Amino acid sequence: MEPRQSFGSLLKRYRLTAGLTHERLAERSTISVRAISDLERGASRRPHPDTVRLLGDALQLTPEQRAAFESAARPGSDDVPGNERLLNTLPVQFSSFVGREREVRALHDLLQRRDVRLVTLTGAGGCGKTRLSVEAAIEMTDVFVDGVIFVPLAPVSEAADVAQAIARALAPPAPGDRDPIAFSIAQIGDRRLLLLLDNFEHVVAGAPLLLDLLRGCRNLTMLVTSRAALRLSGEQEFPVTPLPLPDVEHLPPAGELMQNPSVALFVDRAARVRPDFALADDNAAVIAALCARLDGLPLAIELAAARLKVLTAEALLERLGRGPAGTRLWLLGGGARDLPERQRTMHQTIAWSYNLLATGEQFLLRCLAVFPGGCTFDAATTVCGIGPFMNHATIDAQMLEGMAALVDNSLVQRSDGPDGEPRFTMMETIREFAIEQLHAQDESSELRRRHAGYYLDIVVATGALLFAGPRERTRAAAEQANIDAALRWLVEHG
């Protein structure tokens, strides 16, 4: 057996002897170029056994060389300081991962870039940020060979306690009276480590301390989930959108429809409560309509699928389409007991985000619920110019700040309208919650009156569409849902 050397030096020697570049070895072994470079430089010192095996196979090592290679990869415990042992505290998953393979690959590539050390997954509640982050982290254990640490922040109530939560996750118990940031930096050192911080949105004021950790730990990378971006220097935002929806107007055969992520997730979770459940041509249209009705939100789909233990898919779809808005959200409940309380119903999930908003932002979300077809900024400003937004001297600035907050918190989506003017929309599940809150605050009548008046003016202005230009026709078509709602309200209330 060869004299003992460090794993990095052996890897480099065997690679050069084989006449391979980093890129060529990466192709042969399926290990990333960055991971190989880190191992050779010693930035990563604890290679995963699968990494060692893949590299050994790619280098075509002799039995003697492989023995030395494996020995260097697994030094005795006496050689390894306590804070350099391999750590992996990712939560164990008990269900299959469906529909996000492309995003996992994108995160895998992103997290290997040297210029990216802080990635924040943003998106609405229930869109699957936590599950995606965990799956991506699992795929990164070969890169972050010194550890992947999961830090759940939902139980943390104050931003000032974030540092202590990180310290506890790195080396329980807590560091006592010692500064938790200094303690964490000492624990991490120069290890190639991934820190996964879950549910940061309610303690976002504590975000700047993350930069202190990144400055003090040169090989540390952070993956964060939050319903809003942290707004830190160097942050790379990674929006997590709902799952793609099937085209309910042009459904393919059942076998092809199963390739749609929303449908595949629904069928997988439904089969867990009804083992005989399967997608077939006779139920494909109902399942597709359910997924569309649930906005492609993974949590909503999972909660709805669990209801098939009692209801048929047809009965569930029918109940989701009737009854007062808001009450329908309570059908999407009964989540697993091991889930956080906020994720056991869609209502609780949305309420978590809503309660984090400032008073004016909450009002604006309620106000936007009266627009069934979304709205322009001008429409929102005109209709919502009451309550917190009655100071007309500053209403534009107030509305800009409020709308930006709702977009940042993934409660409202901004898109370009057909005429190029920005439009703001809500997912139907969120809109239903906002309508419920609108009625609870007794604001519905006044806001619907203002909404009807605004669109009545549009109808009058564009009534002679025969003489209108293309821009006016396009705008009228985009507002059709709002115009219909306004006319119905006027007929009912005079």
Residue-wise pLDDT for 222-280, tens only, equals 999 999 999 999 999 999 999 999 988 888 888 899 999 999 999 999 999 999 999 99
Average pLDDT score, the chain: 84
| Residue 165 one-letter amino acid | A
Mean pLDDT of 390-405: 77
Helix axis angle, 49-59 to 63-73, nearest 10°:
150
Question: 21: which 2 tokens?
Answer: 């570049």
More confident residue, 418 or 135: 135
For the domain made up of 7-80, give the CATH fold. Answer: 434 Repressor (Amino-terminal Domain) (1.10.260)
Residue-wise pLDDT for 43-99, tens only, equals 566 677 878 888 989 999 988 888 888 888 865 433 444 444 447 888 888 788 888
Question: 60: which 2 tokens?
Answer: 């075509």
Q: How far is CA 220 from CA 115, 210, 214, in A?
A: 12, 11, 6
484: Cβ–Cβ under 8 A, 6 or more apart, which residues? none
Which pLDDT value is given to residue 103?
93
Residue-wise pLDDT for 335-360, tens only, equals 555 566 665 678 888 888 899 899 98
405: Cβ–Cβ under 8 A, 6 or more apart, which residues? 357, 358, 361
For CA atoms 465, 466, 467, 469, the dihedral sign is positive
Question: 290: which 2 tokens?
Answer: 């359910």
Which pLDDT value is given to residue 163?
93
pLDDT band at 286 (very low <50, low <70, confident <90, very high): very high
Which pLDDT value is given to residue 371?
94
Which pLDDT value is given to residue 387?
63
For the cut 90, the answer to whether the pLDDT of residue 216 exceeds it is yes
For the cut 90, the answer to whether the pLDDT of residue 322 exceeds it is no
Q: CA-CA distance, 130 to 87, in Å (whole number)?
A: 19
For the cut 80, the answer to whether the pLDDT of residue 194 exceeds it is yes
Residue listed under structure tokens 């023995």: 67
The dihedrals phi and psi of 64, each to the nearest 5 degrees, come to: -65, -45
Q: Domain ranges in the chain?
A: 7-80, 87-239, 254-322, 357-493
| Cis ω for the linkage preceding 173 (within 30 of 0) | yes
Which pLDDT value is given to residue 80?
40
For the cut 80, the answer to whether the pLDDT of residue 396 exceeds it is no
Mean pLDDT of 101-108: 91
Q: CA-CA distance, 373 to 482, in Å (whole number)?
A: 6
Instruction: Give the closest residue to 246 by CA, choosing from 227, 265, 222, 230.
Output: 265
For the cut 90, the answer to whether the pLDDT of residue 15 exceeds it is no
Which pLDDT value is given to residue 338?
57
Q: How far is CA 258 from CA 245, 250, 286, in A?
A: 11, 14, 13
For the cut 90, the answer to whether the pLDDT of residue 398 exceeds it is no
For the cut 50, the answer to whether the pLDDT of residue 451 exceeds it is yes
pLDDT above 90: percentage of residues in the chain: 37
Q: Tell me, what DSSP letter sits at residue 90? A: P
For the cut 50, the answer to whether the pLDDT of residue 483 exceeds it is yes
Mean pLDDT of 319-324: 70
CATH number of 357-493: 1.10.10.10
Query: Class of the 87-239 domain?
Result: alpha beta
Whether the Cβ atoms of residue 482 and residue 455 lie closer than 8 Å to each other: yes
